[in-house]
Chain A
Amino acid sequence: MLLAGGLAVAACGGTTSAGNSGPSGHASQTITLYSAQHAQTTAALVAAFTKQTGITVRVDNDGEDQLTARIELEGGRSPADVFYSENSNWLQQLDDKGLLAPVDPSTLAHVPKVDSATNGQWVGVSARVSVLVFNPSRLNSSQLPSSVLDLAEPQWKGKLEIAPSETDFWPIVSSVARSKGDAAALAWLEALKANAGSGDEVPDNETLTSDISQGTTDLGIINHYYFYRLQAEVGKGSLHARLAYFAPHDPGFVEDISGAAILRSSKHKAAAQRFLEFLSGEAGQSVLAAGDSFEYPLHPGVAANPVLTPLSHLQPSSFTPAELGTGLDAKKLLQEAGLI
């Protein structure tokens, strides 16, 4: 099985034919990609992939929860060959339902083992880290908490804004629960809810970042790239917000993984494997590093966007995608706290 997969990649490598599409060496192949990644990032990746391999990619963009629901509804008849998700828990959910096919070992070898599925059913593509974002005219950096747990202190009452329904928030909850236990995590969430107050549960990290920049609140927790994206959009001068990192190995300092998988129902598995090989390989990772994505490439040979603090200089907690799983623990705690 593994050998066959490897051979398929070897057979395809370097030529524009995709192997099993017929006698013609130039038969153009098409795969279908369900993408929950930001559309411009995906478009840039797909263009580079098609240029390199001649394989056309039809892209369907939607939210990761909707796409997961669709793949489950479509079952064995999904038109999708590949699912590219912003957060790993959705891939895990599909794998739990037996809807994914194994990724080629050579592709998995592109990125650190801990950033992909333990059973090799999906591959990690890029990473983001959770950070504090604050308004410098309302707080100075010496006042910032060093741990995410400190945000439960009463001193932050009315100064905090949170986006609890964002999937990005789940790994933080899960990580706190792992290091402090469920009861402590629940108490922490309830304190966060009280500190945020009624009007300060926002729908997403984009809103949270822009609210802090506008000075309606003092600080919040986001994934680092929302800060850089907003900065790229409005310009450095117009963004009144700054980033800060939690103390090394703090439970709130986690790495989120964006990954991709091949559907078991795919009829173009060889071409789909090539797409994953490209995504996690140097060529795809360089596209990620160059654009306005601001995510960290996982391939050790590709440097991140120079505006970012290199991942090797950061010391997030050891919380892994495997520990996040489908995120069910986090969801339960968030529901119990009445945050979602």
Chain B
Amino acid sequence: MPVTELSVPGNLAPTASGRLRRHFGKGELTVAISVAIALALLAPLGLLALDARAAGWSEIHRVLFRERSWLLLRHTITISVLVVLCAAVVGVAAAWCTERTRLPGRRIWTVLLVLPVAIPDFVVGYAWHSIDPTIGPQLGATLVMTLGTYPLVYLPVAAALRRTDPAMEDTARSLGAGQLTTFLRVTLPLIRTAVLGGSVLVILTVISEYGVFEILRYQTFTTEIFTEFQFDSQAAGALSVPLVCLGLIVLAVDGVIPRRMATSTVTRRVAAPIRLRRATMPTLAALGVLVVLGVGVPVGTLFYWMAQSQHSTLPAAATLGSATGATVTYSSLGALVAVLLALPVAMMTFRRSSAPRVVLERSTYVTQALPGVVIALSLVFFATHYAYALYGTSVLLVVAYAILHFPLALVCVKTSVAQAPPRLADVGRSLGKGQISVFLRVTFPLLVPGLAAGFCLVFLTAVTELTATLVLAPIGVQTLATQFWAYQSEVAYGAAAPYALVIIAIAMVPGALLGLWFDRQRPVRASVGP
């Protein structure tokens, strides 16, 4: 892989040590680290190939090439398109409201709007199914998946809006452009990277979704994989290959859409919030409906289950504490690992964006298109064959969370990287600071919001993960999700409900911290700005 730095900033004297550093320095190291990370993340795909070989072509052929596969393919594509369109519109609109307008109770909204990510999909699916068992599969699946995935667009877009200099928007408005024109022609191009990144995550998440589609009777490739598990687990693994292909197509399409890096000026100030005036009530009502549908309905259903349950005691409560501890520990470790891995990969394309680097970076997204259980079983295979000491330990579960949710971390970190102008680091170096010092004092602080958002997003998602957790949780350890599953599958909905409620409560913590952290940043910035 070519590693020579081509774009030497003009104002930097190319000293011998500088050349040496550029040649063997951070650039190459980041690429090397990224290659290692990508290989580790994509290892489960190699195991899928082994599975396919072991299962034999005839079984795969028999299952894959039949009429039903066309239905599954049509369903998978239709639902992906419907959901990504809805989620992108909802996510961007919500982010614009919280970041650019004088929204009453802004701080609370920033927490509430993220919460749907933290509600286990099987809870949402059951909630809607029990409210209306006759809900059409496609309508229901679109509704539930949109409500569950729009935060994947909302979070990076909100982070991008926070980081984008509003000067151009102000200028556009001062030149007489209306609110909508300004948004479409100025704001939208600025947050394009974030919107596309979030949308890719939404599609990949929809492709690998299982619980919601199963409950709402909408058959996709992933529900077929779970059915195939009852036949031949190796063939089921091999059936993930169409998912990988769909994921690659999405990434390739996304890759050819031209990106304009967000222009960031060195001085940055915070946008003066737009007064909503007469639009205040309708805006609040719209956001209210969104939160009621996404959070209120499932939470309400959980309380209803608890009230309706005839079981006099809730034996579930006995393990609530330990399950909470296990969930928080594994999820936060998984989130930490994911963010640490995402940093070098995002940095790799930071200063220089060559084709191999971009392909390398984008390949790491593919895992998001795979169901958790497929990744988990490939780790079982790996550990039992090559690393038995790790088998049955929590290390494997933490690794699984990091692999499964790595793309979520990467999108958030990348959004920040895209907005940390390389020129800033150049200035730092031109002032005689070393690379590490520049990274720590200039680049890193600019990345912190992305790192924090990435950590929170992975944490929230890992808290609700079920299928990989069931396979990999150390024996005897219960997490909130596995306990919920255990009681719910026994029709003890009342006993299951407290676990889901604690999951949602836990998820509020990072959501709230994120909101508060950003609010603390505001006044400081405002005083620095012109």
Residue numbers in A under 8 Å from B233 (CB-CB): 65, 68-69, 72-73
Flag if A40 contacts B470 (CB, 8 Å). no
Residues of B450-495 contacting chain A, CB below 8 A? 467, 470-471, 475-476, 482, 486-487, 489-494
Q: Is A331 an interface residue (CB 8 A)?
A: yes
Within 8 A of B (CB), among A187-206: 198-203, 206
Q: Does A216 contact B (CB under 8 A)?
A: yes
One of B110-118, B132-140, B180-188, B276-284 contacting the partner: B132-140
Taking a contact as CB atoms under 8 Å apart, the answer to whether B214 and A233 are in contact is: no
Q: Which residues of B contact A240 (CB under 8 A)?
A: none
Stretch of A20-28, A55-63, A100-108 on the interface side? A55-63
Looking across the interface, which residue of chain B has its beta carbon closest to that of A216? B133
Q: Which of A63, A198, A230 has the most CB of B within 10 A?
A: A63
Mask for A212-230, Cβ within 8 A of B = 1, else 0?
A: 0010100000000010011
Partner of A199, one of B217, B309, B391: B217
Complex CA distance for A226 and B493, rounded to whole angstroms? 13
Q: Check: A146 CB closer than 8 A to any chain B CB.
A: no
In the bound complex, what is the Cα–Cα distance between A226 and B380 (angstroms)? 32
Q: Mark A296-340, 1 if CB is under 8 A from B, else 0.
A: 000000000000000000000000000000000001000100101
Extra contacts besides A62-B470, A73-B384, A233-B494 (5): CB < 8 Å: A59-B476, A69-B229, A69-B236, A234-B309, A292-B492
Q: Is the CB of A199 within 8 A of B491?
A: no
Q: What are 13 of the A-B contact pairs (CB < 8 Å)?
A: A65-B233, A68-B233, A69-B236, A167-B230, A200-B217, A203-B217, A210-B130, A216-B133, A232-B491, A233-B492, A234-B310, A235-B310, A292-B490
Q: How far is the CA of A199 from the CA of B380 in the complex (A)?
A: 36
Task: Name, among B230, B233, B309, the residue most crowded by chain A CB atoms within 10 Å (CB to CB).
Answer: B230
Identify A62's interface contact among B309, B315, B384, B471, CB under 8 A. B471
Query: How far, in Å, is B190 (CB) from chain A's closest CB?
Result: 44
Contact B490 A70 (CB under 8 A): no
10 smallest A-B Cβ distances: which pairs?
A69-B233, A39-B486, A229-B491, A235-B310, A216-B133, A38-B490, A65-B229, A62-B470, A203-B214, A58-B475
Any A CB within 8 A of the CB of B215:
yes
Determine the chain A residues whose CB is within 8 A of the CB of B231 once the complex forms.
Answer: 331
Q: How far is the CA of A74 from the CA of B467 in the complex (A)?
A: 18
Interface positions of A from 10 to 37, Cβ below 8 Å from B:
32
Q: Are the CB atoms of A69 and B377 closer together than 8 Å?
A: yes
B-side interface residues, number (CB < 8 Å) = 45
Give, as a whole number of angstroms, the nearest-CB distance from B129 to chain A: 7
The dominant DSSP class at the A interface is: helix
Closest-by-CB residue of B relative to A61 is: B486
Q: In chain B, what residue has the closest Cβ to A79?
A: B392
**Bound state CA distance, A73 and B217, in angstroms?**
30
CB-CB under 8 A for A66 and B315, given A38-B490, A73-B380, A340-B227: no
Check B214–A40 contact: CB distance below 8 A: no
Residues in A whose Cβ lies below 8 Å from that of B493: 233
B522 interfacial contact with A, CB 8 Å: no
Residues of B bordering A, CB below 8 Å = 63, 67-68, 129-130, 133-134, 136-137, 214-215, 217, 227, 229-231, 233, 236, 308-311, 315, 373, 377, 380-381, 384, 388, 391-392, 467, 470-471, 475-476, 482, 486-487, 489-494
> Contacting B486 at CB < 8 Å: which of A40, A70, A201, A226?
A40
Report which of A32, A61, A211, A238 forms a contact with B133, defined as CB distance below 8 A: A211
A61 pairs with B381, CB closer than 8 A: no
- Interface membership of A207, Cβ < 8 A: yes
- In the bound assembly, the distance between CA atoms of A121 and B301 in angstroms comes to 44
Contact of B230 among A40, A61, A65 (CB under 8 A): A65
Which of chain A's residues have a CB closer than 8 A to the CB of B487? 39-40
- Residues on A with beta carbons closer than 8 Å to the beta carbon of B470: 61-63, 66
* Residue from B229, B475, B486, B490 within 8 A of A229 (CB atoms): B490
Q: B311's contact among A61, A207, A233, A238, by CB below 8 Å, is which?
A: A233
Q: How far is the CA of A245 from the CA of B147 in the complex (A)?
A: 42
Shortest distance in angstroms between B492's beta carbon and chain A's nearest beta carbon?
A: 6
Chain B residues whose CB sits within 8 angstroms of the CB of A167 once the complex forms: 230
Query: Is A75 positioned at the interface, with any CB of B under 8 Å from its CB?
Result: yes
Report B-chain residues with C-beta under 8 Å of the C-beta of A165: 227, 230
Cα-based distance from A58 to B308 in the complex (angstroms): 32
A230 to chain B, nearest CB (A): 5
Pairwise interchain contact A40-B471, C-beta atoms closer than 8 A: no
A77 within 8 A of B: yes
**Residue pair B380, A234 in contact (C-beta under 8 Å):** no
Is the CB–CB distance between B133 and A79 below 8 Å? no
A70 contacts B67, CB within 8 Å? no
CA distance A39 to B492 in the complex (A): 11
Is the Cβ of B134 less than 8 Å from the Cβ of A199? yes
B377 touches A207 (CB 8 A): no
Q: Which residue of A41, A65, A230 has the most chain B CB atoms within 10 A of its CB atom?
A: A65
B contact residues around A338 at 8 Å (CB): 67-68
Q: How far is the CB of B161 from chain A (nearest CB, A)?
A: 40
Beta-carbon contacts of A255-276 to B below 8 Å, as 1s and 0s?
0000000000000000000000
Q: Max chain A CB contacts within 10 Å: which of B233, B309, B391?
A: B233
Give the residue among B236, B310, B493 with the most A Cβ atoms within 10 A.
B310
Q: Which A residues are in CB contact (< 8 Å) with B380?
A: 70, 73-74
Query: By the criterion CB–CB under 8 Å, are B134 and A201 in contact?
Result: no
Q: Are A232 and B137 in contact (CB under 8 A)?
A: no
**Which residue on chain A has the smallest CB distance to residue B380?**
A73
Partner of A232, one of B129, B217, B311, B388: B311
Q: How far is the CB of B496 from chain A (nearest CB, A)?
A: 10
